A and B are shown apart, each in its own frame.
Chain A
């Protein structure tokens, strides 16, 4: 198959004024919804879906896809500037991105996020162009036992992610898993921990939880500091990453690209998981892991690249199989069907202009987003000059609107406020929130994969060791956990004399 020829034909489809316009429009809207806290790509896509009805299929899909990856570019902005993630995939960007902003390096953080996103987006487009058929076959081999293994690996990696106490992180993980069990049981439909409430029957929605934990609690913490007069200095040193930053960032960007792309291809994976895992990997691989959580640029570069790469990765099952790997691609699938296009393995054959047109648009859109986002950095950092008494009420209002817009349910707003207060208390006690969010994302997937696997094997846990892919991943997770335990023991031993000597 002549891939380059077909890609060229795809560019022929996309490089028309109308299609370029819709690609630009999608990129712009995506950046905006990414920046606005609470309004994620999913909410934006469902609101805008009707407007694409009368567009031709290619234009419609190009625009909707651009919103999706545009949101990944924009999502980091508020994470870095005010420590409130614009959408779930930018949660980890808060950890170091906001620290960088506090040190006056908001520009460098925003710059590396945009450029890393661009590199990752382009690299994974190349992957998408070249390897679609092969990757589809690999992704299909991942059944429930393999997913369970990946989830276990994810949990172990989280412990590498935290800067503070591993014990406290485990408490947060356990709490997250517990909270994820609220709602209807996935196998027999029994209600768990709902106390008879209709609103809890579906469990906690991720958006209000993330907005509350990060957004509301951040505002509360800031109000407290403001009242005590401890506002951090808002000097802005330079707008672009330094040579040193580049040296630190190139490898995380590359790793983030590969990781995000791989996780995006897998059903159930996606930008959120990819960004979390990338952060954990970078911290693990860093020679100076103690810098993480205190403004390490790798902690921004890796995850921001990973979430963008995951978008391109998730286009593979969508375009070549018609299988959505997450809620946003499910919506894109719906958009295709409304357009009268049947997604599936025949799409590439029957409607090559759609398949290759959309792929070509991903290249174009990433360039547009880079051009759009770099000049915006100067504008965004000016946001830091807005007085808190004006900025924070505005942000709070946006989080309320964003949360309400997802399900049109006022209950979600109460959930957001409740988690906001809880997040404030928990942060005051020195617990990190990222493991809690990750556990709430992975918890339901873990439970589903575990129960599906055990149903398939009639209750025999050997199923995780008899399938080669699952067994490899489980062993890797076990090895990583063992390293952590051993290192902890060594640290404890090494720490003992110091404790005696110092105090």
Chain B
């Protein structure tokens, strides 16, 4: 009997049990009204260009779960991985159909790849944003037993200047983690030993083992160690202090600069040219999910900031254009791109 019940519940999983709260029902009917007659007739695919289980994948799977709460069709997450995201980005920009069934759940890498790697074959304008999803600032953390246990970022900067080439920081090459470290070197007037890792979490492990002095990462990658008092946050690469960590200062305020803003900035986008009614429906479906307090709570738990400053996909596109200009500038000044 029990087995039958469990089997039944597994079958029900496929159909995502709806919660019959009043506001949920309202949102559902509003969304249903926006639904084009011929779409969607098959599941919508959320394409994630990074491996299953990572931060980006978690974000997309949670989003899919909550879109299904409001929509009456399936949303499937597909991981199109390889080349540190470049394969998936290129697929979305140049091969994926613009029929509204393929939605990329993307982050900064989408435009960074366009600038640094696409070699003019595609650019970030090959995507059209559907919605902002959430964002998390890049942070620096130190061990509470290590070299910088009772020190602030200011002290770290002073050490970098006084003893150049002695401070070991864990980075991930060719992404914001490395760019931030370079900016700190410039601002502090010294050099760091930048030890490359394949992701934030291995760097945190190395920090806990005392193999590096500082690790770069997102809150989700070290929250457990922060709560256990093993690590502390030195600074966040955000424009302003974040509501999650109000006591943590920003790199900009400590080092007196303006350009140290790096984050995992996540958004949903479709290949250019999706019919207007389908895009509008997608926008509404994603907005409904992203306004759900339960999803917001889930995202906050992973250390992401959910409040969206953008009212429409077009505004998200404009923001991305701005980021891309700033980033291109950074790449030309650091010699990564020819002037």
Contact = CB atoms under 8 A, between A and B. Distances in A.
Interface in A187-245: 187-189, 198-199, 201-202, 205
Listed residue (B14, B64, B195, B204) with the most chain A CB atoms within 10 angstroms of its CB: B195
Given A201-B87, A408-B78, A456 B61 contact: no
A332 B57 CA distance: 12
A22 B2 CA distance: 11
B177 to A, nearest CB: 12
B97 to A, nearest CB: 14
B54 A202 contact: no
Contacts of B12: 54
A126 interface: no
B29 interface: no
B197 A22 contact: no
Nearest to A54: B13
A143 interface: yes
Contacts of B302: 337
Contact of A18 (B2, B201, B205): B2
Given A451-B196, A455-B196, A50 B61 contact: yes
Contact of B173 (A142, A188, A321, A333): A188
Interface in A358-406: none
A46 B76 CA distance: 11
A242 B320 CA distance: 68
Nearest to A190: B174
Nearest to B165: A458
Contacts of A142: 209
A50 B62 contact: no
Contact of A21 (B3, B52, B197): B3
Contacts, number: 166
A142 B6 CA distance: 43
Contacts of A140: 205, 208-210
B77 A50 contact: yes
Contacts of B90: 198
Interface in B82-106: 82-84, 86-87, 90
Contacts of B334: none
B86 A331 contact: no
A334 interface: yes
A144 interface: yes
Contacts of B223: 342, 344
A186 B178 CA distance: 13
Contacts of A346: 224, 227-228
A199 B81 CA distance: 10
Interface in A18-58: 18, 21-22, 42, 45-46, 49-51, 53-54
A57 to B, nearest CB: 13
B6 A202 contact: no
B290 to A, nearest CB: 16
Given A201-B83, A331-B52, A456-B211, A345 B224 contact: yes
B91 to A, nearest CB: 8
A345 to B, nearest CB: 4
Contact of B174 (A53, A188, A322, A337): A188
Interface string A240-270: 0000000000000000000000000001000
Listed residue (B9, B16, B174) with the most chain A CB atoms within 10 angstroms of its CB: B174
Contacts of A456: 168, 193, 195, 211-212
Given A199-B82, A201-B87, A330 B224 contact: no
Contact of A201 (B14, B82, B224): B82
A499 to B, nearest CB: 50
A186 B172 CA distance: 9
Using C-beta atoms within 8 Å of the partner chain, give the interface range for chain B.
Answer: 35 or more
B149 interface: no
B154 interface: no
Contacts of A21: 2-3, 6
A497 to B, nearest CB: 53
Nearest to B10: A51
A141 interface: yes
A7 to B, nearest CB: 22
B335 interface: no
Contacts of A408: 78-80
A205 B82 contact: yes
Contacts of A187: 173, 196
A324 interface: yes
B298 interface: yes
B206 interface: yes
A184 B172 CA distance: 13
Nearest to A335: B53
A344 B224 contact: yes
A141 B84 contact: no
A407 interface: yes
Contact of B83 (A51, A198, A334, A340): A198
B64 A50 contact: yes
Interface string B191-234: 00111111001101110111110000000101111011010000
Listed residue (A22, A327, A408) with the most chain B CB atoms within 10 angstroms of its CB: A408
B146 interface: no
B51 interface: yes
Contacts of A144: 195, 206, 211
Interface in A418-452: 448, 451-452
B193 A455 contact: yes
A150 to B, nearest CB: 15
B58 A186 contact: no
Given A18-B6, A331-B52, A331-B53, A189 B228 contact: no
Interface of B: 2-3, 6, 9-10, 12-14, 16-17, 51-54, 57-58, 61-62, 64-65, 76-84, 86-87, 90, 165, 168, 173-174, 193-198, 201-202, 204-206, 208-212, 220, 222-225, 227-228, 230, 298, 301-302
27 contacts: A17-B2, A42-B52, A49-B53, A51-B13, A141-B209, A143-B211, A144-B195, A144-B211, A183-B83, A188-B173, A199-B82, A201-B86, A321-B205, A331-B51, A331-B52, A333-B53, A334-B52, A342-B223, A344-B224, A407-B81, A407-B82, A408-B80, A409-B80, A448-B196, A452-B195, A455-B194, A458-B193
Give the top 4 A-B pairs by smallest Cβ distance, nearest first: A344-B224, A334-B53, A201-B83, A143-B211
Given A143-B211, A407-B80, 19 more contacts: A46-B53, A50-B76, A53-B13, A54-B9, A54-B12, A54-B13, A143-B206, A198-B83, A199-B82, A330-B53, A331-B52, A333-B53, A334-B61, A338-B62, A346-B224, A408-B78, A408-B80, A409-B87, A452-B195
